[in-house]
Amino acid sequence: MGKVAIVTGGTRGIGRAICEHLKEDGFTVVANYGGNEEKARAFTEETGIAAYKWDVGDHQACLDGCAKVAAEVGPIDAVVNNAGITRDGTLLRMSYEDWNEVMRINLGGCFNMAKAVFDGMKSRNWGRIVNIGSINGQAGQYGQVNYAAAKSGIHGFTKALAQEGARYGITVNAIAPGYIDTDMVAAVPDTVLEKIVAKIPVGRLGQAHEIARGVSFLCSDNAAFVTGSTMSINGGQHMY
C-alpha cells in the first residue's frame, strides 16, 4: 500500500481531479465530502476511491474522521485542504452567518484537518499539507469579503505552519487557482464570465487537472525543498 492521502471536498470538481492524480501517483486516496451522498457513491463507483463524510468546519468531526481513516486505511501522510463554499454578497447585504460559515469551512477546515494529522506526520518525519487558496485571496474580489478573507488567511496559515513542520519533514504549501472550469464557476452568469475570461492573458478558463498536477508535485518527494510557498495557477490573471 502506498502513502495515504485525504482530499477534502474530494468528490467533485478540482477535488475529484486531485484525487485521481494522487491515485495515479501511487497514493491510497480517501475523499472527504460534506454533503451529497448520492454523488459520493457515484464517485466511489467510478474511481474506486473511498469517500468519507464529515464537516471539515467541525473540529471534533475532523479529529474523529481522520482517526477512522487512519484505523481503516492507514496513517495519513498527505492532506489536501480543498473543501470550500461561497456565500457571496456585498458587505451591506452579507449576513453574519454568511461570513461565519465561509470562514468556518474554508479557513477553519484547514486548521481542523492539520490539527488532526500533524502529530502523526511529525512522528513519521514525513508529511505533505497542501491548502487550496484562491486568486481572490490574493487580489480580492467585489462581493466576496468573506471568501477573500478566508482564502487570504489560508496563505498566511500556510507560511506559519510551514515553519513548524520543516524540521520534521512536513512541507506545507498552497495553490492559488484562478478561474477554473468547474460547477462553481459555471454558476457565474455568462456576461460576467465573459468579462473574467477577457482578463485572463491565456484567454481561457483553467481545467481542474491543471490544479491537480500542481498538487501532485507538491505531494511528491520531488517537492521536499518546497515549503511555505504559494503556487499561482491562474493563466497569468494575477502576477506579483
Where along the chain do its domains lie?
4-233
What are the angstrom distances between the C-alpha of 147 and each of 104, 160, 161, 164? Answer: 11, 20, 21, 26
Percent of the chain scoring above 70 in pLDDT: 100
Chain mean pLDDT for the chain: 95
Q: Which helix (H) or strand (E) holds 77?
A: strand 76-81
pLDDT at 1 over 70: no
pLDDT digits (tens, 9 = 90+) for 22-47: 999 999 999 999 988 999 999 999 99
Catalytic, 147? Answer: yes
pLDDT digits (tens, 9 = 90+) for 165-178: 999 999 999 999 99
pLDDT digits (tens, 9 = 90+) for 65-95: 999 999 999 999 999 999 999 899 999 999 9
Cell 485542504, residue? 81
Three-class DSSP category at 235: coil
3-state helix, strand, coil in the chain (%, to 5): 50, 15, 30
pLDDT at 220 over 80: yes
- Of the listed 33, 52, 147, 179, which one is catalytic? 147
What are the angstrom distances between the C-alpha of 129 and each of 30, 58, 202, 220, 226? Answer: 14, 19, 29, 11, 11
CA 99 vs. chain centroid, Å, equals 19
Higher pLDDT pick, 131 / 136: 131
- 220 exposure class (CB count in 10 Å sphere: 0-12, 13-18, 19+): middle
CATH of domain 4-233: 3.40.50.720
What contacts 179, CB < 8 A, 6 or more positions away?
A: 135, 185, 196, 197, 200, 205, 206, 234, 235, 237
The answer to whether the predicted template modeling score (pTM) of the entire model surpasses 0.75 is yes
